[in-house]
Amino acid sequence: MSEEREITIYDIAKYLNISAATVSRGLKNNPMISKTTRKKITDAAQMLGYQSNAFASNLRSRHTHTLGVIVPRLNSYFMSSALAGMENAASRYGYNLIIAQSLEDAEKEKRNVATMFNKRVDGLLISLSYNTQNINHLEPFFKRKIPVIFFDRVYPHNESTSVGINNFEAAYQVTKHLIDQGCKRIMHLGGNVLRNVYQERLDGYRKALQDHHLPFTEKLHLTGPLSEQAGEDAARHILELSPDKRPDAVFSANDTAAVYCMLALQAAGIRIPEDIAFAGFNNDPISKVIAPNLTTVEYPGDSIGHTAATYLINHLKGISDLYATNAITLRADLVIRASSLKNKHPE
Amino acid sequence: MSEEREITIYDIAKYLNISAATVSRGLKNNPMISKTTRKKITDAAQMLGYQSNAFASNLRSRHTHTLGVIVPRLNSYFMSSALAGMENAASRYGYNLIIAQSLEDAEKEKRNVATMFNKRVDGLLISLSYNTQNINHLEPFFKRKIPVIFFDRVYPHNESTSVGINNFEAAYQVTKHLIDQGCKRIMHLGGNVLRNVYQERLDGYRKALQDHHLPFTEKLHLTGPLSEQAGEDAARHILELSPDKRPDAVFSANDTAAVYCMLALQAAGIRIPEDIAFAGFNNDPISKVIAPNLTTVEYPGDSIGHTAATYLINHLKGISDLYATNAITLRADLVIRASSLKNKHPE
DNA sequence: GAAACTGACGTAACCGATTGCATTTTTTAT
DNA sequence: ATAAAAAATGCAATCGGTTACGTCAGTTTC
């Protein structure tokens, strides 16, 4: 039952009859320490079961080897992939991740940011909540020059970098693909345009329509949370339209809404892609399971997370300068599957 | 460009002409401090933009308000749900989460555990990697009486608690359900029996067979990583059997393998559930998208995570005693869907 | 052989909040 | 008004590494 006392560098120092300073240096492979004493130190540390106390170290050296991550939700495929990518990069370089979720709430996001600051994270990776209006809550970070990287849902700021894809271009390609398939009345299920990703996807969609001389119709533009429910609601909305007013294609800003819209429409006897073609966004696992398989955009969460974290760490190590880089854009390819193929023999 | 200096309690103390000790107490709402000075302190703190330094605090008070979480992979639906549940519970009580993934590698898990220990987490939540043989690497935690909770993939240990479901019972129910549907040759796709969840699911399956006087056939028991590939491999295996030797049902220990097995079989012309009934495990989102919808077991990641974290925190606060509790078992209901319904009119 | 230098290690002052104990101030009781 | 009790605040040690600076023995240089 006796509480084991903590082994410190002082214990090692006493054991070897040397100073704590030497022990500290020896453990960090400081070249000032001779090979022989260094060996003695590491051996003694091993023997005594020494475990370094990160606090004491942080308190003095003023960095924590910890990165803060704030995401809207942890449990989406994209986010958990992004986190996995970050964790891989971070652990490779000896960094840890403190993860918090805003639950799409700007207020909780503010509290998360404050906590991260108090825990003195060395850098922050953040994807903004659904209704965050501005980034004033990040000021403490900017003031203290603690680097911030936005990923996925970014915010323009000239002292921090954004990591994501070209949403405009991807949405343009999706829409163009649907147009190439002969679709003329393409519906768009979008998210809150406060978030750049949804704004840019909407813009790409509109630009493609315009370039192909198709009108943009407000009635074919639905905005919502892109949830399962939202997908089903969209289906109901479509079914309530008179058949000649119905869209002949749906481009959803995520796969979840697309898939649940498809399921509801199919239940009502609508054929996909013959009656209505479908395209989503994210390349979520469900897109490969739904019948017909869903055309979508590969949104590489793992790469985005890995890139963002690596970049942040490189900045911290002085290898690259984050302030010079405004944005990093990763490749996001269109993944064409059966849900959008109206032409049996596409050229 | 000037680095803003950090505001400390000493700055507040100097500003108000009081001692740092009083400031420290005032900020923590210590009742020993009068209401008026407390107000003055918080106001000054606000005014000066004070942010507490968690290190200094931790170093002295010896707890971090941080929980370590080690999971095999971040990007599975179950795990990300569990993490989300943990984060909700933790943030409610002012705790943070440091998250690391073992990538199913026992060695990386060991390193993760050591890091968590060095960062002095107040408690540890862990789901073991695929090939972890023992829990010797957790000894430092046990020695220092730092509480450890296992969730999902647990390990028997009489000083720590496990949170999960009754896998044996759930698997029994799944198998019984398939038998009730008239199935007689039920195949099982299982995982590594080193992990309790897979061992127990296998046991439940076997017990149900036995109770219903059905033989257990080694040929109908496949063990693997339960990945998409594993599901497709299982399908190929089934198709290679002569039709009279084929199973009339498949019970997979997760939904991913079940779904990809179904897709491959369907592509080969096999009808589900008429030719082969299917059941999975986890209630992953894909189970609701596959046609026919997959019968499965609701494995409540969110609840498991929330419960595990709450329990750990209650222990830390002295509200409950973790050492007295051996296991917490959550409800896991069978979710019957079309993939297993051979009888058109089930009673 | 004295001065200058180098390598290896020790000394001690931090980092910023916490807390047992001492001290001062205020309140209560007599 | 005064002693006693209670409340409020201050003092100073402490947590465990880190690091600027000092020391000292041994080596090099001329």
What sign for the dihedral angle of Cα A6, A12, A14, A20?
negative
Same domain flag for A81 and A201: no
Same domain flag for B161 and B305: yes
Q: Do A3 and B54 touch (CB under 8 A)?
A: no
| Digitized pLDDT (tens) for each residue of chain B, 347 residues in all | 334 467 899 889 988 998 899 999 999 888 888 888 889 999 999 888 888 888 888 878 777 889 999 999 999 999 999 999 999 999 998 899 999 999 999 999 999 999 898 888 999 999 999 999 999 999 989 988 889 999 999 999 988 999 999 999 999 999 999 999 999 999 999 999 999 999 999 999 999 999 999 999 999 999 999 999 999 999 999 999 998 899 999 999 999 999 999 999 999 999 999 999 999 999 999 999 999 999 999 999 999 999 999 999 998 887 777 778 889 999 999 999 999 998 765 44
Same domain flag for A30 and A110: no
What is the rounded CA–CA span in Å between residue B19 and residue B16? 9
What is the rounded CA–CA span in Å between residue A283 and residue A296? 6
Mean pLDDT, range A243-257, rounded to an integer: 96
Which residues 93-152 in chain B show a CB within 8 A of chain A?
96-101, 103, 108, 111-112, 114-115, 117-120, 140, 143-145
3-state secondary structure of A7: coil
Q: Do A84 and B96 touch (CB under 8 A)?
A: no
Same domain flag for B77 and B140: yes
B60, part of any domain: no
Work out if B59's Cβ lies within 7 angstroms of strand C: yes
Q: Does B285 touch chain A (CB under 8 A)?
A: yes
Same domain flag for A200 and A291: yes
Same domain flag for A201 and A270: yes
Residue B237's pLDDT is what?
A: 96
Work out if A319's Cβ lies within 7 angstroms of strand D: no
Same domain flag for B185 and B159: no
What is the rounded CA–CA span in Å between residue A131 and residue A128? 8
Which residues 295-334 in chain B show a CB within 8 A of chain A?
301-302
Name which of A80, A99, A120 is nearest B75 (Cβ-Cβ).
A80
Residue A346's pLDDT is what?
A: 44
Work out if A75's Cβ lies within 7 angstroms of strand C: no
Whole-number mean pLDDT of chain A?
92
Supply the range of the domain harboring residue A89: 65-165+301-330
B10's CB contacts (< 8 A; 6+ apart) are: B20, B23
Rounded to a whole number of angstroms, the distance between the first and last alpha carbons of chain A is 76
CA distance B290 to chain A (A): 6
Q: Identify the residue whose tokens are 């004491």.
A: A56
From A39, A49, A36, A45, select the one nearest A13 (Cα to Cα).
Answer: A45
A71, closest residue in chain B (CA to CA): B84
Work out if B21's Cβ lies within 7 angstroms of strand C: yes
Name which of A84, A103, A118 is nearest B75 (Cβ-Cβ).
A84
Separation of CA A289 and C1' C19 in angstroms?
Answer: 60
Q: Does A338 touch chain B (CB under 8 A)?
A: no
CATH code of residue B36: 1.10.260.40
| Residue A3 confidence (pLDDT) above 50 | no
Residue A5's pLDDT is what?
A: 63
- Disruptive mutation site among A80, A117, A254, A283 for chain B (greatest number of B CBs within 10 Å): A80
Nucleotide nearest to B25 (CA to C1'): C18
Name which of B77, B100, B290 is nearest A96 (Cβ-Cβ).
B100
- Please provide residue B341's backbone torsions phi and psi, each rounded to the nearest 5 degrees: -90, 95
Same domain flag for B72 and B96: yes
Domain total of chain B: 3
Give the model confidence (pLDDT) of A258-286 as tens digits: 999 999 999 999 999 999 999 999 999 99
B103's CB contacts (< 8 A; 6+ apart) are: A88, B72, B73, B129
B118, part of any domain: yes
CA distances from A201 to A173, A176, A191, B23, B88 (A): 10, 13, 9, 51, 31
Same domain flag for B263 and B181: yes
Same domain flag for B184 and B229: yes
| Residue A325 confidence (pLDDT) above 80 | yes
**B49 membership: H or E segment, kind and range:** none
Same domain flag for A172 and A147: no
Give the model confidence (pLDDT) of B71-94 as tens digits: 999 999 999 999 999 999 999 988
What is the rounded CA–CA span in Å between residue A25 and residue A149? 33
Chain B residues touching residue A51 (CB < 8 angstroms): 114, 117-118, 140
A241, part of any domain: yes
Query: Is residue B307 within 8 Å of B320, Cβ to Cβ?
Result: no
Give the model confidence (pLDDT) of B118-143 as tens digits: 888 999 999 999 999 999 999 989 98
CA distance B119 to chain A (A): 5
What is the rounded CA–CA span in Å between residue B259 and residue A272? 21
Tokens of B102: 């073992």
Q: Identify the residue whose tokens are 């199913």.
A: B104
Same domain flag for A321 and A290: no
Nucleotide nearest to B59 (CA to C1'): D15
Going across the sheet that includes B123-126, the strands are A327-330, A161-165, A148-151, A123-126, A66-71, A96-101, B96-101, B66-71, B123-126, B148-151, B161-165, B327-330
Q: Does A154 touch chain B (CB under 8 A)?
A: no
**Cβ-based neighbour number of residue A338 at 10 Å:** 15
What is the rounded CA–CA span in Å between residue B212 and residue B256? 28
A14, part of any domain: yes
Nucleotides in chain C with any atom closer than 7 Å to protein CB: 7-12, 14-20
Residue A229's pLDDT is what?
A: 98
- In the DSSP assignment, the letter for residue A3 is P
B279, part of any domain: yes
Which residues 54-73 in chain B show a CB within 8 A of chain A?
54-56, 58-59, 64, 66, 73
CA distances from B169 to B80, B252, B255 (A): 24, 15, 18
A4, part of any domain: no
Give the model confidence (pLDDT) of A166-225 as tens digits: 999 999 999 999 999 999 999 999 999 999 999 999 999 999 999 999 999 999 999 999
Q: Does B8 touch chain A (CB under 8 A)?
A: no
Residue B49's pLDDT is what?
A: 85
- Rounded percentage of chain A residues whose pLDDT exceeds 70: 97
Separation of CA B21 and C1' D11 in angstroms?
Answer: 9
Query: Is residue B105 within 8 Å of B129, Cβ to Cβ?
Result: yes
B3, part of any domain: no
Q: Do B101 and A84 touch (CB under 8 A)?
A: yes
- Name beta bridge partners: B328: B163
Mean pLDDT, range A51-76, rounded to an integer: 88
Residue A342's pLDDT is what?
A: 86
B182, part of any domain: yes
- Please provide residue A219's backbone torsions phi and psi, each rounded to the nearest 5 degrees: -65, -20
Q: Does A291 touch chain B (CB under 8 A)?
A: yes
Name which of A51, A100, A114 is nearest B140 (Cβ-Cβ).
A51
CATH code of residue A307: 3.40.50.2300
